[in-house]
Amino acid sequence: MSDHGIGIVGLGVISRAYLETLAGAAGVRVAAVADLDADRARAVAETIPGAVALTPEELYASPEVDTVLNLTIPAAHEGVAISAFAGGKNVYGEKPLAASLDGAHRVMDAAAAAGLRAGAAPDTVLGTGVQTARAAVAAGLIGTPVSATATWISRGHESWHPHPDFYYRDGGGPLLDMGPYYLTALVQVLGPVRWVQGASSRARDTRVIGSGARAGESIPVEIDTHVTGVLGHESGALSTVTFSFDAVATRAEPLEVHGVEGMLVLPDPNHFSGAVLLRRARGSEFEELAANAGYVDAARGVGLLDFIAGHDRASGEVALHVLEIMAALLDSGASGARVALDSTVVVPPLVPLTPFAQWHGGLVN
């Protein structure tokens, strides 16, 4: 059998991480690349043996491409995905699935109508950190889960990003930027969400760019920049979440899960690995759990390889549910009312403990 052909659309900074992961991976090859900047596409193609630079339309139609890797900006995710489905390609994309919940539904409807598959980041939840915590909860190490907390605090990206405008416009903000990592982890560990109650605020109406050629320039803030809320999981567990561009720092753990017989501290879900700590009800010390699930030493793009292997662990269905959670939190923050979710999702199977390096010796089944 010939290698599975991947066509990459969008060659920004994140593409470098994917290209590093795909280099030498068995059973797959980067067949084509495309970008709005044709010169960039040609330059990248020259670094990949056997790859060609195409227009996006040519890439969607290419018989050499089996799966489109969608690395465009969020506003373009929907259009790229639907065009790729029309060309008969499966699609795996960066988060979010689309820039809006309606757009995400259109993506999933187009995939279903074409009989094709949709997958989406984040894939960090497939690493040993979140998967080992999942295994611990499933094994009853903390008893019945009752609650969780997720916290991400930052001063705002203008302190380091030379062009931070997007983060302070509709479609930006701390929740949509960082929420997918934390909320996907919570869905993995505690299951789907039934309802949310949110609140939000905005500390400043302008921000000052701190670096680059535009340093000192003031930009408008058009959205709320501190979002908090409670998620009611179908299991009955309650998660409390906070995402902010308005605070200096926090000493809170990124993720904690509490049960009647113990609690877990999870590592940052923006990374694949890290210590999972357990404190039992009858103990006074934390113990570090040995990693017993997930891809070991994984890197960005493992979700794509998992997807190509036929799994649905980084599925469009999960990405759609997480996007609805975020949209509901923002709607609830604006209205003050509890918002019930329309979607649910079957949590994908646990990832068995698998060395990431095996992807370079054959596809893992």
Q: Count CB-CB contacts under 10 A for residue 331.
A: 14
85: which 2 tokens? 């489905």
Per-residue pLDDT of the chain (365 residues; tens, 9 = 90+): 479 999 999 998 899 999 999 998 989 999 999 999 999 999 999 999 999 999 999 999 999 999 999 999 888 999 999 999 999 999 999 999 998 999 999 999 999 999 999 999 999 999 999 999 999 999 999 999 999 999 999 999 999 998 899 899 988 899 999 999 999 999 999 999 999 999 999 999 999 999 999 999 999 999 999 999 999 999 999 999 999 999 999 999 999 999 999 999 999 999 999 999 999 998 889 999 999 999 999 999 999 999 999 999 999 999 999 999 999 999 999 999 999 999 999 999 999 999 988 776 544 44
Q: Choose among 83, 84, 92, 11: nearest CA to 46.
A: 11
Count: domains in the chain: 2
- The domain containing residue 33 runs over which residues? 4-120
Do 85 and 27 lie in one domain? The reply is yes
CATH of the domain at 34: 3.40.50.720
Do 76 and 150 lie in one domain? The reply is no
Do 100 and 129 lie in one domain? The reply is no
Do 138 and 102 lie in one domain? The reply is no
Whether 67 and 5 have beta carbons less than 8 Å apart is answered as yes
Q: What global pTM score does this model have?
A: 0.94
Whether 177 and 231 have beta carbons less than 8 Å apart is answered as no
For 190, residues 6+ apart whose C-beta sits below 8 A from its C-beta are 137, 145, 148, 233, 235, 237, 239, 257
Instruction: Evaluate whether residue 360 is within a structural domain.
Output: no
Do 89 and 160 lie in one domain? The reply is no
Do 116 and 185 lie in one domain? The reply is no
Do 272 and 158 lie in one domain? The reply is yes
Instruction: Evaluate whether residue 210 is within a structural domain.
Output: yes
Do 30 and 106 lie in one domain? The reply is yes
Do 183 and 273 lie in one domain? The reply is yes
